[in-house]
Amino acid sequence: MENIELLTLVRNKAKGWLTDSYDAETRSQVQTLLDKEDPAELIEAFYKDLEFGTGGLRGIMGVGSNRMNVYTVGAATQGFSNYLRREFADLEQIKVVVGHDCRNNSRKFAEISADIFSANGIRVYMYDDLRPTPEMSYTIRRLGCQGGIILTASHNPKEYNGYKAYWDDGAQMIAPHDKNTIAEVNKIRSASDIRFNGNNQLIEIIGEEIDRQYIKALTGISLSGEAIMRHHDMKIVYTPIHGTGVRLVPDTLRAFGFTNIIHVPEQDVVSGNFPTVVSPNPEEPAALALAVKKAIETDAELVLATDPDGDRVGAAIKNDKDEWILLNGNQTALIFVYYLITRWKELGRIQGREYIVKTIVTTELIRDIAERNGVGIYDVYTGFKWIADVMRKNENKLQYIGGGEESYGFLCEDFVRDKDAVSACAILAEISAWAKDQGLTVFQLLQKIYVTYGFSKEEGISVVKKGKSGAEEIEAMMKNYRDNPLTEIAGSKVVFIYDYAKLKGYSCLDREVITLDMPTTSNVLQYIMEDRTKISIRPSGTEPKIKFYCEVHSKINNTGEVPEAEKAASEKIGQIKHSLGIS
């Protein structure tokens, strides 16, 4: 009965897309879905509307309310326009920035969005071509805009696209603005409610001048200019993986003072088909394979990579056996925090007002570094908008040093309010030059951090569950973990359980209940073991996955103990997977 009701609902919804408000091609594609004997594809396309998650609006491109297309993008932009006009009704002119990445249809969706904003009387600054997400954030603040959007699906496979919405502080929207915008979007019941006919007089094309201002601002965060001068010709291989970093990252590296930047020509090609990779994700070794190959050929010292919208950074370095290895997101965040705090101290900038931000699933070694050096530390939910929220609340009160998350995002500056791989690439190169000044490689620097603050190994496991049935399965898994809490995992006793959906923490030792100080609830469950092992479980906000984050700690006395600690941690994580039923 339930399936019959769902199919009836979906069919009626799809038939609404057969009116003259929709273009002929869309009507034809919808009719084809309706005519198919197997309704699975029709259900997937229409069983729900795309919603804002941790990364905004994101989905597979195609027809339907659950797909990225002209009409779902149009509805989002119309709803956002309505909300901006309501919230900033006292302004003579509301202004927004519109950006896009390299993906198929991104420019088309950006131009349609610009038309809709302008049709609603909103002034639009639209880039002349693709640009990194962090530059869009910078531009909102630089031009005094009330909001902005960028069309991107970040590092997702090529069939995806997305729509990230930003508020006047240059950060992705959080409550109440995200929910209020969705409420406005949900009021739009048909394409006839969307104002597609733009006003060209309200659309201004921007580009190179903003690029120059952004890069100049980034050079101001450099902390080791003399080290760069001494090692300016170190060989750095960089790949944009077909995306937006192709121009700005090399230009920024040169602006910092680096003179020997080696390109990967095949991946400098801007393409939404990502022809050299299966997935344009700098977390995956395959995405960096060509860059590492180039590094071997040229005897380079550092490999840098950015995802298609230029907000996530990947890096490869040589280990003590002269082998190329990839740093994971926790390791890069750890290196950033160690370097920034160390240099701020050396330069006399630590005055007792400074702070670092990390997400609750990112390595706890960051906390150890901050606290031992008298720097404040904030824990926030996954999603860089929560780091930006802390920055907004502390503006003109405390001094931001940096913030990051395990998913390869870091922000070294406070004039951008989203993760920034452009600045991250420049600072990673600077860290490499600074380490060379001390006779260290980046690999040796990481080992030094482990000896000083303790060893940790982190591993993320994603279990993919696609479609409506997958979403239901993920929900059932989360319910089971809550209803049947584990008391022991991989031989270690659980001492705390934090349930962020209830904002409650539970001590397994004395049954004490703790209130978690967070701005809102989130569907995250976290276990803390007696040996400092941390396990976090949450459904992804942007992909059909349930994610598990494992973090194992140990103390080491010297770098020679790292291999054994690494081996023991890997074995422990294997046992954790078995305990959680995901091995």
Return the amino acid letter for 138: Y
Report the distance separating Cα 273 and Cα 149, nearest Å.
Answer: 22
Tokens for 202, please give them: 């309200």
Report the distance separating Cα 440 and Cα 562, nearest Å.
Answer: 17
CB 149 within 8 A of CB 96: yes
Tokens for 218, please give them: 């980034």
Report the distance separating Cα 214 and Cα 231, nearest Å.
Answer: 24
CB 573 within 8 A of CB 459: yes
Active-site option among 106, 137, 154, 492: 154
Sheet with 313-318, strands from edge to edge, namely 261-263, 236-239, 302-306, 313-318, 324-327
Question: Mapped to the 3 state alphabet, what secondary structure does 84-139 carry?
Answer: HHHHCCCCCCCEEEEEECCCCCHHHHHHHHHHHHHHCCCEEEEECCCCCHHHHHHH
Residues for the chain: how many in total?
A: 583
Report the distance separating Cα 386 and Cα 519, nearest Å.
Answer: 9
Cα separations in angstroms, 124 against 213, 341, 416, 542: 19, 39, 19, 27
CB 459 within 8 A of CB 498: no
Token look-up 């530390």 returns: 377
Q: Is there a catalytic annotation at residue 154?
A: yes
Q: Alpha helices of 127-207 — where are they, by DSSP H?
A: 133-142, 177-186
* CA neighbor of 391 nearest in space, from 240, 548, 172, 185: 172
Report the distance separating Cα 67 and Cα 429, nearest Å.
Answer: 39
Cα separations in angstroms, 286 against 33, 323, 362, 407: 35, 16, 23, 17
Active site residues: 154
